[in-house]
Amino acid sequence: MTDKINTYHIPVLCDACIDGLDIKPDGVYVDVTFGGGGHSRAIFEKLSAKGFLYVLDQDADAKANIWNASNFSFIQSNFSFLSNQMKAKGVIEVDGIIADLGVSSHQFDQPERGFSLRNEAHLDMRMNASSQSTAADVLNTYDEDDLVRIFRSYGEIKNARRLAAEIVQQRTDSDIQTTKKLIDLLSGLAPKFKEHKYYAQVFQALRIEVNKELEALESFLGQASDLLKPGGRLVVISYHSLEDRIVKNFMKKGNVQGDLEKDFFGNPLKPLTEVTRKPVVPDELEQKENTRSRSAKLRIAKKNG
């Protein structure tokens, strides 16, 4: 089991996540991004026979990492459907929820998934392979203004208008279907000596759009706070500023916009209180051993009440 997890995905900030969850042996916990099962296994090992672990993952490949136990249940689903999935299981409240956002090592390392810059592949980028829209669909069907929007909003691309215009011009001759063809197009637009960062920003923007990641995250946070018991913990690892800003705003202010609302008496209206004022980041050793952890930020909050 351990070997399978390590080759699929090395769990980031695992010890800090377990500490953040403050696990009760008889408690009920949910890992909404099961992946290779690294965080889940660490949680499960701290549970008694009376405790229960539910895990969600929209990627069917994650099923390869499940194990058989009477107090363990795998649900193939996007975490934006957390409330409905828990209701279907008869679960009203839980003691802790963990989310490790972004793309797993397994997904990056499967060339046919189209997430990686390193491999020639179809521009897919779907985390759920049964979803309809791919990155190629976005590039070849979105109008110029919509392309500008996603590149500016999700990739923070400075020359988004020029990039969108170039894509629209290119696809009049032939569709942009592969990672190589897209990178060839990007090579003439990327800032000198910052080519790789530029490519990564474009790929990030496409991946976020294809998977509706930010909308799903916003929906998940609200559902998670409702599902937690008073004192229950929410643990979230993000990998880029767009995700982290949403998580930070929700934990600090109670909404993703970051506007603190108060009641008639001036008391803050927010469901969570931060356990850590600043995000936890991997130490130098973890960043060296697992390069994909370098941009990780862990935030922890507990349910008020």
Give the predicted TM-score (pTM) of the model: 0.90
Q: What class has domain 130-210?
A: mainly alpha
Q: Which among 68, 8, 69, 70 has a CA at the least distance from the CA of 38?
A: 8
6 alpha-carbon distance from chain centroid: 19
More confident residue, 8 or 146: 146
**Could you give the CA distance from residue 63 to residue 100 in angstroms, rounded to a whole number?**
17
At residue 116, the pLDDT reads 63
Q: Could you read off the pLDDT of 221-275 as tens digits, one per residue?
A: 999 999 999 999 999 999 999 999 999 999 999 999 988 888 888 888 899 999 9
Provide the residue ranges of all domains of the chain, joining segments of one domain with +: 2-106+213-303, 130-210
**Could you give the CA distance from residue 75 to residue 58 in angstroms, rounded to a whole number?**
8
Query: Average pLDDT over the chain, rounded to whole?
Result: 91
Q: Could you read off the pLDDT of 161-192 as tens digits, one per residue?
A: 999 999 999 999 999 999 999 999 999 999 99
**Could you give the CA distance from residue 165 to residue 144 in angstroms, rounded to a whole number?**
6
Q: Of 3.40.50.150, 3.30.930.10, 3.40.50.300, 3.20.20.10, which CATH number belongs to 2-106+213-303? A: 3.40.50.150
